[in-house]
Amino acid sequence: MIKIINAIGERDLSIFSREDSKRNEEIEKIVSDIIDNVKNNKDDALKEYTEKFDNVKLDELQVSEEEIDEAFSQVDDYFKQTLIQAKENIEFFHKHQLHNNFMLTKDDGIVLGQRYTAIQKAGVYVPGGTAAYPSTVLMDIIPAKIAGVEEIVMVTPPSKDGKVAPAILTAAKIAGADKIYKVGGAQAVAALAYGTESIPKVDKIVGPGNIFVATAKKLVFGRVSIDMIAGPSEILVIAEPDCNPCCVAADLLSQAEHDKMASAVLITTDKDFAEKVSDEIERQLKKLPREEIARTSIDTNGKIFIVESIDRAVELSNEIAPEHLEISVKKPFEYLPKVRNAGSIFLGENCPEALGDYFAGPNHTLPTSGTAKFSSPLSVDDFVKKSSFIYYSEEALNKAGGRIQDFAEHEGLRAHGRSIGIRFSDEKDKY
């Protein structure tokens, strides 16, 4: 049963920042060995791990066009149209994230500017295991396409029949994946980071995964870029007492069913309302196909905090920095300016977190474990890099040269200064 807490301590505020350093060290050792094996043995290692972890023996790792077309034909038209509409919504939102290049010309022969270029190859990890996530396919591929990434390589674990779920392949076809491979886990991350005979090395790896995938992304960072190191899913709901407890309970359970380590938290101002939500959670849990997962999540990590005001609830939320924040109040826009730390914010009673997971348009790959204090959702920005450029005429360089040489002298880097002065000396005239 979910815990109801009146007096909130500092430890309660770290609910989304759980760490087990000993376990993490053990997992890092396992993952490090997997990465080394993939680096050295490439496709052979991938096939070995696929047989070991997924119980599938594969001759070919890449999903063929025939497999994609077959999967596409198996998915009903209604769901295809749902995926297409979701794609349109995601495109509509993410196109507004594009940046413009700029060039600044000064009167004295100086040109300064900045230009954005897309990374060339992106790797997208799509989880498998206890559920299939076509929504992740859309959310991770579409921003890359909008950014202008030349090649998008998707990896995802196969099911026991050696195939990828039809919904996953259909979403990948609609979103525009260039290559798809039947590989999951830490070994898939290693393949994207270092390349194998089948899988090309990429410049950046994005997408959520279990603790082994997250650890692999952490260990290959620097060799390639990554989006973030995501932890278990989180939801924090701020609710007024006149909200419907049935809806609030359903929203909390929508994240609890992700996995046993997920966290669902409610902050409200009324104890009676808190108890009604608690009762509703127990009632609705019994109806869920994933009851065991959701119940473990609620019993282990679920909490209801009772505070004196909604303003205080927002303050606590900023300290917790949740992945998903629902502000389920009558006038949610009054509180929006006060929110400083949250991955994605859902405003009002008609905006359940699932709306953002699937359909609304903003990205659902979000910072977790309190990292919303300093990081952001996946976006077009994750797939572009910016370069500055400088042009000085001879006259402009001559005018600034003395100050640059003086600056170099103060730093003790005389060759820096000489690279300026030599352009205006007799020394260069011999050429």
| Residues taking part in catalysis | 323-324
Six-digit token string for 265: 């938290």
Whole-angstrom Cα distance, residue 345 to residue 237? 10
Please give the torsion angle defined by the CA atoms of residues 189, 190, 193 and 198, in that order, rounded to the nearest 10 degrees.
Answer: -100
C-alpha span between 370 and 135 (Å, rounded)? 23
Residue whose token pair is 């994946």: 177
C-alpha separations of 35 from 42, 46, 189, 203, 391 in Å: 10, 10, 8, 17, 44
Rounded CA separation 5/426 (Å): 79
Interatomic CA distance for residues 172 and 62, integer angstroms: 14
The amino acid present at 266, given as its one-letter code, is L
Q: Which of 141, 205, 214 is nearest to 368 (CA)?
A: 214
CA distance 328 to 241: 10
| Residue 61 · residue 345 · CB < 8 Å | no
Whether the Cβ atoms of residue 285 and residue 298 lie closer than 8 Å to each other: yes
Token pair for 358? 């699937």
Strand pairing report for 324-328 and 344-347: parallel
Q: Tokens 């402009």 sit at which residue? A: 396
Copy the structure tokens of residue 266.
């409610």
- What whole-number distance in Å separates Cα of residue 197 and Cα of residue 387? 32
> Can you spell out the DSSP letters for 69-123?
HHHHHHS-HHHHHHHHHHHHHHHHHHGGGPPPPEEEEETTTEEEEEEEEE-SEEE
Q: Measure the CA–CA gap between 191 and 34, rounded to whole angstroms.
A: 10
Structure tokens, 220: 């290959």
Spell out the alpha helix ranges (H) of 363-413: 394-411
Question: How far is the C-alpha of 188 from the C-alpha of 30, rounded, in Å?
Answer: 14
Q: Are 153 and 178 in contact (CB under 8 A)?
A: yes
What type of residue sits at position 64?
S
